[in-house]
Structure 1
Amino acid sequence: MTSSTSSALVLASRWASASNRRREGLRAAHSQDAEVLTDLLHTYLRLKSSKGGRISELTLAHYAESLRKFLAFTGPAASPQHALTQLEPEVFEVWLLDLQAQGLSASSVKRHFYGVRNMMRALVWADVLKIDPSTSVRPPAESEAAHSRKSALSAATFRALLALPAAEHPSDPTRAARDYALLLLGGQFGLRAAELVGLNLDDLDLSLGHVVVRGKGKKTRQVPLTARALGALGIWLRLRQSLVSASPALLFSLSHRNAGGRLTTKGARDIAGRYYLALGLPPALWGLHTLRRTAGTQLYRATRDLHVVADVLGHASVNTSAIYAKMDASIRREALVAVEGLE
């Protein structure tokens, strides 16, 4: 059963009418029932958010995690310190300070807050609350510009990263080919973590030289493949044929526990993380989004065209892509040298 079918069935029962929503919502709020509250949150987001049915499963999972964190803060269900039906803005402000004290970044705190704010709006929709008590609360702002907080790999470092799978697995060419394809798709074409693991064999067309990527909000884009990518994927596909797997996934797990199953985002991050560690990169760079930032930076450096960057990376606006123009210090240095030459 698909998630959309499942949510439709839930809507047809528990949340179908205003009276049902209020009754079930009140019961869940009073008992701090995380499962039912998550169900309400997800249904509300699919029906009432601007993205509606296009909201990604990853976003839904993130917001569910945020709700669990908030419920843990409000206290045990049997005797909560803060009842969900009697929240004041100060409760959210203290929670945000608590998250920061745990060492979470401002961006992570903001994401958790937005998840809980949507929960409050869902409770208003269910007529459990009359108003959203978090409306006046503002999440913490970043103390640094985004391009200062986030880094990309240099071209030389990325080349060294791509050389590692073969060097680390000389007796396991299948693993080396899979890992190389993963790193290349992330670092040259800027695929997001969910996009990487969501690729299917049918999305790839080596004869026409492109791959269809299903991005955020269920939007698809067609990304042309370079000769290097075509060669790498061709090798992986040939080796893949010798493995027993019914999975439609382009990249799948080779671990004993999930052998042949679709690679998870955590599994993909762990693969990249081992190579980052081997290169001696700092933990701040241990993430698949580092590869996406690398692709964006190198694309802008090669083209100086934000529209190309936005098109390849799947950004809805070139304003989102502008960060990659700021992240490459060499671009700013070249501009300053050029200005100096005009003096």
Structure 2
Amino acid sequence: MNGESLRLPDELQQPLQRFYEYLRSEKGLSLYTRQNYQQQLMHMAAYLADNGVMCWQQLDSAWVRQLAAKGMRDGIKASSLATRLSALRSFLDFLVLRGDLTANPAKGVSAPKKKRPLPKNLDVDEVAQLLEVNEDDPLAIRDRAMMELMYGAGLRLAEMVSVNVRDIHLGLGEIRVIGKGNKERKVPFSGQAVIWVKKWMAVRGQLAHQDEPALFVSSRGGRISHRNVQKRMSEWGMKQSVASHISPHKLRHSFATHILESSHNLRAVQELLGHENISTTQIYTHLDFQHLAQAYDQAHPRAKKKRKS
């Protein structure tokens, strides 16, 4: 790093040093964050100097795109490249603030989009295996009720933890939840989810404090924590010998995938999951397509692999 800084022209180096001091004294950023900014900016400044850029006023959007292209050629991950360009935008904003630049040439240049990983889900048999919990212990009844409700209604972990007793309407098969952005929605649930929530309600008083509003409580009587739910579901996955790791998110993903496979109604799945934008829900169409493609490969006469005679 020191060698690189010595090779930089003063017109590139000195504004960088002023920016690092600005991050320390005025922005109050941690040493780790400042070092990360410095590392990213030095990589770019060294490349610019090697290619004849002697001062930041020479930088335009074409140079910024070239920096992004170099990062891609070097095999930098999309997330790391986004971090690098973000550091550059912040630095150039600083130069605009000081009056050294009239505009930020990095504003219109975005990093390539990160590949969005497909959510992992359980197949129907794995869900059935997980939910074969028939113990009489109140904690086991609570845990099955939580898992049945999460899979039966597609709730987020935070939504389920925040549900109060008054939010459940067993007769209507309806639950009121507060989702992201503090938005309220009503979600239907039925079948085993209703049965096991009723069983839990019958024994809940053995654990819950008298004035506790939460539907699901811990062994100490208060509202159950996110971490406790994650831990218990993981333990049940191992206890029930399910091959996949069990998590609240995986049950929600399984709910969405299974509903979409059966109904092919993306808009309904969007409403049930509480997604504001349909684009968020569309990730499940990729899972559904994988399912359809596999069925095609297995069933279509011209797609079947020839068997060895």
Quick check: 1:224 aligned with 2:193? no
Greater helix fraction, Structure 1 or Structure 2:
1
Q: Secondary structure at the match of 1:311?
A: helix
Quick check: 1:160 aligned with 2:119? no
Aligned equivalents of 2:104, 2:151: Cα separation in 1: 41
Question: Is the alpha carbon distance of 1:269 and 1:128 closer, same or farther for their aligned partners in structure 2, counting shifts above 3 Å?
Answer: farther
Question: Is the alpha carbon distance of 1:106 and 1:286 closer, same or farther for their aligned partners in structure 2, counting shifts above 3 Å?
Answer: farther
Question: Is the alpha carbon distance of 1:33 and 1:331 closer, same or farther for their aligned partners in structure 2, counting shifts above 3 Å?
Answer: same
Residue pairs, 1:127-146, within 5 angstroms = 141-142=113-114, 146=117
Q: Which amino acid is 2:228 matched to?
A: G
Quick check: 1:249 aligned with 2:209? no
Residue pairs, 1:328-343, within 5 angstroms = 328=288, 329-335=290-296
Question: Is the alpha carbon distance of 1:137 and 1:194 closer, same or farther for their aligned partners in structure 2, counting shifts above 3 Å?
Answer: farther
What is the Cα deviation at residue 156 of structure 1? 0.1
Q: Secondary structure at the match of 1:249?
A: coil
* 2:260 match: 300
Question: Is the alpha carbon distance of 1:194 and 1:132 closer, same or farther for their aligned partners in structure 2, counting shifts above 3 Å?
Answer: farther
Aligned equivalents of 1:207, 1:324: Cα separation in 2: 31
Q: Which amino acid is 1:334 matched to?
A: A
What is the Cα deviation at residue 242 of structure 1? 2.6
Aligned equivalents of 1:192, 1:238: Cα separation in 2: 24
Q: Where do 5+ consecutive residues of structure 2 fail to align?
A: 1-20, 45-76, 304-309
Aligned equivalents of 1:275, 1:142: Cα separation in 2: 33
* 1:315 match: 275
* 1:16 match: none
What is the Cα deviation at residue 241 of structure 1? 2.0
Residue pairs, 1:58-207, within 5 angstroms = 71=30, 73-74=32-33, 81=35, 90=41, 141-142=113-114, 146-147=117-118, 150-163=119-132, 165-166=133-134, 170=135, 173-207=137-171
Aligned equivalents of 1:28, 1:223: Cα separation in 2: 46
Question: Is the alpha carbon distance of 1:140 and 1:92 closer, same or farther for their aligned partners in structure 2, counting shifts above 3 Å?
Answer: farther
TM-score in terms of structure 2 length: 0.63
Q: Secondary structure at the match of 1:315?
A: coil
1:281 is matched with which residue: 214, 231, 243?
Answer: 243
Two-structure CA RMSD over aligned residues (Å):
4.0
Contact 1:92 1:137 in 2 (8 A): no
Per-residue displacement from partner, 1:104-141 (whole Å, max 9, x unpaired)?
A: x977x79x96xx98xx69x98xx899999995886675
TM-score in terms of structure 1 length: 0.57
Q: Where do 5+ consecutive residues of structure 1 fail to align?
A: 1-25, 35-70, 76-80, 94-104
Aligned equivalents of 2:40, 2:109: Cα separation in 1: 6
| Higher Cα Rg, which structure | 2
Contact 2:176 2:186 in 1 (8 A): yes
Aligned equivalents of 2:246, 2:269: Cα separation in 1: 23
Q: Which amino acid is 1:290 matched to?
A: K
What is the Cα deviation at residue 336 of structure 1? 5.3
* 1:236 match: 200
Q: Secondary structure at the match of 1:241?
A: helix
Question: Is the alpha carbon distance of 1:312 and 1:91 closer, same or farther for their aligned partners in structure 2, counting shifts above 3 Å?
Answer: farther
* 2:227 match: 266
Contact 1:253 1:261 in 2 (8 A): yes
* 2:11 match: none
Contact 2:138 2:203 in 1 (8 A): yes
Question: Is the alpha carbon distance of 1:188 and 1:140 closer, same or farther for their aligned partners in structure 2, counting shifts above 3 Å?
Answer: farther
Aligned equivalents of 1:159, 1:260: Cα separation in 2: 29
Aligned equivalents of 2:98, 2:164: Cα separation in 1: 42
Quick check: 1:212 aligned with 2:163? no
